[in-house]
Amino acid sequence: MISGLSSCYYDNVEYLYPQDPDCDTTNVTFSNDVMPVISASCTGCHSGSAPAGNIRLSNYDEIVSVANNGSLMGTIKHESGWSPMPKNGNKLSDCKIQKIDRWILDGTPNN
């Protein structure tokens, strides 16, 4: 007896991670899109001489470090295994998360 199995696998990024149609993630820049979100939502606790968790997010190099090790997206997406950020605050908007994700996927350019 011969039987065939078939299945569907969706590996299209747009299918797996749908984008908000009102969120423009083209031309995302560090200075215009990423740093303002980090400054408004993160540096209150993650800056200065005694940053929370010993994680400082005051400049490009510090932010790239947490972007490259996965902790930035893990925490702001509230993924399992990461401490959800902002601590005791509302999750960032989907659009802000999508823009930071796009910046990381684009290689964390310093522009």
Angle, helices 94-105 vs 60-68, to 10°: value is 90
Q: Which pLDDT tens digit goes with each residue over 60-93?
A: 999 999 999 999 999 999 999 999 999 988 999 9
Q: What is the pLDDT of residues 42-51, one digit of tens each?
A: 999 999 999 9
Count of CB atoms situated within 10 Å of the CB of 43: 18
* Unique residue bearing structure tokens 């996965």: 70
Supply the Cα-derived Rg of the chain in whole angstroms: 17
pLDDT of residue 18: 56
Token readout for 81 is 């295994």
pTM score of the predicted model:
0.80
The encoded tokens of residue 72 equal 């930035």
Residue 53 is classified by DSSP as: G
Domain boundaries, the chain: 25-105
